[in-house]
Structure 1
Amino acid sequence: MKTFKQILPAFAIMLALGGAFGTYAMNNSGGKGALTNFRGHIKNNPLGTSCTESIMCTDVNGPLCTVNGQPTGTQLWKKNDQNRCVDEIYKIQ
C-alpha cells in the first residue's frame, strides 16, 4: 500500500502532462480544423504564370473568392508549388 501511495502522485503528474501536450498538439496541428488565410491572386494570363496579389481568401470550402466578394466578380486563385495561380480558393466566412 505504501508503494501505491508513492507512485500515485507521479502517475497523476504524468497523466496531466500527457493530456496537456496532446491538447497542444491537436490545436497546432495545421490539419483540417485549422483555418488557412492568405492573399488571393488575379490571373494575368490563362496559364496563371503571371498574377497580381489581391484580397485575403481561404482554402476552407465555401463560395469562390472574388475581387469584390460577389459571385460575378473576378475570381481569385492560390499560387501552387510551381508559382502558378491555378488553385481555386474561397471567400472567408
Structure 2
Amino acid sequence: MRSDEQELVRLRSQLRSALRNKELVLYFQPKIDLTNGCVAGAEALVRWEHPERGLLDPAAFIHTTCRAYRPDRTYWRLGNRRSVPQPGIVA
C-alpha cells in the first residue's frame, strides 16, 4: 500500500474515533452588518480537537471526509456547538 493510501486509512480510522469521542466541534462565528453593527447571520466552522495534534482546522481533515468517509453530521452537530469569541462583541 502506498504511503498516501496508508495515511488516508489512518486518518479515516481517526475520524471514526473522533465522532465516537465527540472530538469534532462546531463553532458559530457571527457575521456583523457593518452598516449598523448588528448580527446579520452566522458562519458554522468545524474543528477537530485531536488528542495528539491539538485543535485542527478543517483543511487538515475535510478532504478525507469527502473522499473516503462521510460522517453522519447530525450525530455530532447539535451537541458539540460553541461560539467563537469576537473582540468587541457582547453576547
- Do both share a fold (TM > 0.5)? no
The answer to which structure, 1 or 2, has the higher relative contact order (CA under 8 A, 6+ apart) is 2
Normalising by structure 2, we get a TM-score of: 0.26
Larger Rg: 1
TM-score (normalised: structure 1): 0.26
Query: Hey, which of these two has a bigger chunk of helix by percent?
Result: 2
- Comparing both structures, which one devotes a greater share of its residues to strand? 2
